[in-house]
Structure 1
């Protein structure tokens, strides 16, 4: 693996997390009016349709069928559960609170990559991961938050998400990106649809709400496609710190959509996170 692979993976990861943040914001907004299970079913169902359409237009419809079904569907079930858990967190607590706790994922990724994949990041890369997490703590001061079920859900989702990212690195080379992306969407769409039908039921939605849900579904499709490709070309321990870019997207979307203010500590933490990312990049170039 060379530097260009890791840099390319980092660019893809940053784009993916920015796209994910749009879907997250729609979930947070729509869950004020629609049961979160219904929001989840509609968004993931739309994402699955976008993935299928993309595959057909590219003439790769057969790539949607996994060649390693046990592995791919198992990872899909894990990622589906992670998505359902974090969507609950978005409906229960502020966006910034969720992101504080999901920023544990890069730490988990690095640990899992070292233990499970045998990756040996340099001391500077490890320091960059830890420094990025310190920046998150400075930005959001989680010690001042009251913890509820939504906070525990966000923390749990971070661990599951980290496992699914590392699993990408051990996926069979012949397994297609499309199969890895569509599996969790189909599983979650079916599961959340059944749950919604048995509980609150699907409410009537306006044309505007439909457009928002379709936008979120497209973002879920695009973000998952980019993150799978990122972790297939780059080392997991190198890419892990770039999830911290959500510190910019979270406050920005919170301010634009919900009028949440951005405090000075957020920007101080952002500066620390930028330094951490530069540290990782410099260490990677120096080791080339």
Structure 2
């Protein structure tokens, strides 16, 4: 990775986040008609097919080359859990607020980094964690528009995503990034395909719904490819704070597609969560501690 073209890296990052927001918005629409496990299967299966078509001819066996296959499988299963919990939450809650609650993942990572990675959690990180949870309470406050079941799904998904990110840190020094991406698609496809006899059912999709179902894997796979490309052109410290732009995409799509906007307190909570995450990203930069 180089920092020779940071503007290109930023543009790729913003495009990747738009893909992820489109994935969430599409899954929210489809989950009103089709079962969430079926949509999770489609999201990984079409992602897997994309990787086979575009990468297998050139990379061949290198796609599967790993020194830690068990950890690769566990990491991939955690991401399958994230996808399932997130889609289930999107089914019953607004797009922007649900996205914001899922973005407390960096706070969970900060809490788990000490016992699992041996990292020191100083006063700045503890302050960012406390502020982030305060922002979460502004969104998930009693009497708000969110339902308890959806909040629980978001928090579970965020916890799974935190463990996934920690395992990514453990694997990244020795494993190829594209190989890790391939294992998430492969394991997700195999796991959900094994469950397919029990989750298949419901109405037959129209041709438009079938295209939308296929787009889940396309948005997910394309988003991850763009993310990898972004980190080839800009440093992690440059790109990490931009992750919260997805909140903006989610808010815009929630307004344009579902005619839903967060209230003032929810907007405040989203801003606090984003600010806490940006502070954590800034504090993690070399030379700031």
Sort the TM-score into its range (normalised by shorter chain): 0.7 to 0.9
SS in structure 1 at match of 2:55: helix
SS in structure 2 at match of 1:204: coil
- Counting matched residue pairs gives 280
Query: In structure 1, what is the equivalent of residue 112 of structure 2?
Result: 112
| TM superposition shift of 1:148 | 3.8
Q: Higher mean Cα deviation, 71-80 or 212-221?
A: 212-221
Query: In structure 1, what is the equivalent of residue 51 of structure 2?
Result: 51
Unaligned stretches of 5+ in structure 1?
none
Distance 1:128 1:13 in 2: 24
Preserved contact between residue 94 and residue 260 of structure 2 (Cα < 8 Å): no
TM-score norm. by structure 1 comes to 0.78
CA RMSD of aligned residues (A): 3.8
Query: In structure 1, what is the equivalent of residue 184 of structure 2?
Result: 184
Distance 2:111 2:169 in 1: 14
Superposed counterparts of 1:38-187, under 5 Å:
38-56=38-56, 59-67=58-66, 68-120=68-120, 123-138=123-138, 140-145=139-144, 147-171=147-171, 173-187=173-187
| Distance 1:150-1:267 versus aligned 2 partners, 3 A rule | closer
TM-score norm. by structure 2 comes to 0.77
Mapped pair 1:215 → 2:215:
yes
